Chains A and B, each alone.
Chain A
Amino acid sequence: MKATNEDLVHAIVSLNNIKKSFNDIVAVNDVSVQIREGEFFSLLGPSGCGKTTLLRIIAGFESPETGDILINDKLVNSTPPNIRPTNMVFQNYAIFPHLNVQENVGYGLQNTKLTSKSIKNKVDEILDMVGLGGFNFRSSSALSGGQKQRVALARALILKPRVLLLDEPLSALDKNLREQMQFELRQLQKSIGITFILVTHDQTEALTMSDRIGVMFDGIVDQVATPEDIYTKPATKRVASFIGNMNFFRSNILSSTAESVRVESDLLGVLDIDKVNIFGGSKAKVSIGIRPEKFKFKKPNGGKKVKSLAGKLIQKTFLGENLLFSLDVGKKANKVYISLTPSGEGAYPKVGENVTVYYSLNDLLAYFEV
């Protein structure tokens, strides 16, 4: 029911079969994505996956070789950046060094018919909004990284764009400031209601800020979904291993019915996996994936669905929010990772102990080998 509602939302940016290459390298390969009006959309992927190129195509700095791009239902393939209803926050902020904060933020309004007094008022208003009230006459070289970021944001938002494009805007900030800005950006986006498209290689950033995420690898968008779905139901093996951690077990397919597929793996034995948890084509081999936090040391209730795996605990790593155990399961030197949230209650197994861990069949995901 949720899905049908969301499908009705108007697509503000429509990318249809976009392709772009530089010399012989394909940066964006036949990408089609619909970005909905008013959402916080993230393009997530490792460096060099083409996410920045895709953002620059939306901004108008690059033109696609094939495919169409529509912004607000208008074809903008050959519309230059200064006419598009988009504004961008650049990775290095691109603050004009010869202008002060006031002149930087009001820069885009010079082209309008506004009087200098009303420009001044608008600048004051937007500076207050980004938390830089009273910074009007500060020289741009006297700004810290975080302040430059806010100026860049104010300078783009003052033009009231339909879509705000953000190219790794937080990557240059230190951890605490980055987390604070993530929160503020998210709040800001919800309060002004402008569509944000964020490019990032930081999965935490994408997961915490976005309404939806598009995960990109080698110029291809593998999956577009909500953060929850990206994490719990990654559509491809590379999405599964890029977002969070995942244990993989190579398996062969034995048989398949309407609801499930029977597979056999060296470590897990023979299992029936629900078809909804299987992704990809139909080959003879699959990889079974399970998140480290899905393993339990205590046997949960769940009847036939609960399976177990035995091994020797070889390492315990404290990571702050959780504990990571490595389990040696013998066969083929495959290490299995198990993650636990420390509760402070009860003793954990010690390194060197032989333990049995439990998992539910529902937590298994299967990917056909390419």
Chain B
Amino acid sequence: MYKTNKLLKIFVIGFLIFLYAPAVLLPIFSFNSSQVISFPLSGFSTKWFGQLLNEDTLHDALLNSLIIAVLSSALATMLGTLTARAASRYKFFGQKVTMGFILLPLILPEIILGVCLLTVLIQLGLNLSLWTVVLGHTLLILPFATLILLSAFNNLNISLEEASLDLGMNAWQTFYKIILPMVTPGLISSLLIGFVISLDEFIIAFFLTGVDPTLPVYIWSQLRFPAKLPSTMALGTILLIVSLILVSFFEYYRRRIEKYSQALTRGK
């Protein structure tokens, strides 16, 4: 038993190194003064970060990505709210099949999704633009938003809604005063996770964007120039930190959903 314990430790350490080494290398090389990405490190420098400030195309790409991420996460959260409410409160014909189709993009290969969307959009005669990327990302995020919101709505005890109605509020007031505050942690996590997914999504953005690149598309294009590699790594470091912060917030709000549902059952 002692032996297996030791083996298990080694396995876990090796596993963690495999998982996180690339993420650790990213900030290390972004502060390295040499243009060549290799050990030994030549010296500490923040010049690659400084370089980012002067890249106009990068700024445009970042702005594009932010617009797309905000719009698509908002759109997917709105649709996800309606889906989750319908699935948690009502029983209707074809409910399971409908839910299955909404969650399908989770398992569909993105490259297939990208090709299909491109074909459909061209058939419809739509010009490729940031808006088509928003549509594509909304489709991609919707399953995540739906699953997060479904847990928020399922945890919402129906007697709370009934109590509000019973105390003289109408359906709209009940939604505004009870349902909305109760599912707010779910809404925030859905927005955050949608934002992060959209921000670093490459394939669909690559297929559907026209002349305006998103951030990942811009990064991909920069890889052709070895001189741009260190500043790309600096950009990656910033994105990594931002993503970590957003995901921490996401986790915080996800736990709030659980706390609310526990508060109802505790002390019974």
| Chain B positions within 8 Å of A80 at CB level | 165, 170
A88 touches B268 (CB 8 A): no
A41 to B182, CA, bound (A): 35
A94 touches B157 (CB 8 A): yes
Cβ of B125 to closest chain A Cβ, rounded Å: 48
Cβ of A78 to closest chain B Cβ, rounded Å: 15
| Chain B positions within 8 Å of A82 at CB level | 165-170
A98 touches B167 (CB 8 A): no
Among A124-132, A140-148, A186-194, A228-236, the stretch that binds chain B is: A140-148
Cβ of B117 to closest chain A Cβ, rounded Å: 39
Cβ of A257 to closest chain B Cβ, rounded Å: 55
**B243 sits at the interface (CB 8 A):** no
Q: Which residue of A lies closest to B267 (CB)?
A: A145
Please pick, from B159, B177, B181, B260, the residue contacting A94 in the complex, using a CB distance under 8 A.
Answer: B159
- In the complex, number of A-B residue pairs with CB atoms less than 8 Å apart: 77
Of the listed residues B165, B166, B178, the one surrounded by the most CB atoms of chain A closer than 10 A to its CB is B166
| Chain A positions within 8 Å of B268 at CB level | 92, 145, 172
| Chain A positions within 8 Å of B169 at CB level | 82, 107-108, 110-111
B173 touches A88 (CB 8 A): no
Tell me the residues in window 6-48 of chain B with beta carbons closer than 8 Å to chain A beta carbons.
Answer: none
B166 touches A143 (CB 8 A): no
**B99 sits at the interface (CB 8 A):** no
A92 touches B162 (CB 8 A): no
What range describes how many residues of B lie at the interface? 20 to 34
| Chain B positions within 8 Å of A94 at CB level | 157, 159-160, 162-163
A82 to B167, CA, bound (A): 6
A144 to B159, CA, bound (A): 19
A159 touches B168 (CB 8 A): yes
**A87 sits at the interface (CB 8 A):** yes
**B3 sits at the interface (CB 8 A):** no
A159 to B173, CA, bound (A): 17
Instruction: Decide yes or no: A107 and B260 within 8 Å by CB, A61-B162, A94-B157, A145-B268 being known contacts.
Output: no
**A54 sits at the interface (CB 8 A):** no
What range describes how many residues of A lie at the interface? 20 to 34
**B121 sits at the interface (CB 8 A):** no
A155 to B159, CA, bound (A): 14
A141 touches B165 (CB 8 A): no
Cβ of B5 to closest chain A Cβ, rounded Å: 39
Cβ of B110 to closest chain A Cβ, rounded Å: 38
A159 touches B159 (CB 8 A): no
**A97 sits at the interface (CB 8 A):** yes
Tell me the residues in window 143-169 of chain B with beta carbons closer than 8 Å to chain A beta carbons.
Answer: 157, 159-160, 162-169
A159 to B167, CA, bound (A): 8
Tell me the residues in window 169-192 of chain A with beta carbons closer than 8 Å to chain B beta carbons.
Answer: 172
B182 touches A98 (CB 8 A): yes
Tell me the residues in window 74-131 of chain A with beta carbons closer than 8 Å to chain B beta carbons.
Answer: 80-82, 86-88, 90-92, 94-98, 107-108, 110-111
Please pick, from B166, B182, B265, the residue contacting A59 in the complex, using a CB distance under 8 A.
Answer: B166
Q: List 22 A-B contacts (CB under 8 A).
A: A59-B166, A80-B165, A88-B163, A90-B162, A90-B163, A91-B159, A92-B157, A92-B159, A97-B260, A97-B263, A98-B181, A98-B182, A108-B169, A111-B169, A140-B263, A141-B259, A143-B267, A144-B267, A145-B267, A147-B267, A155-B163, A159-B167
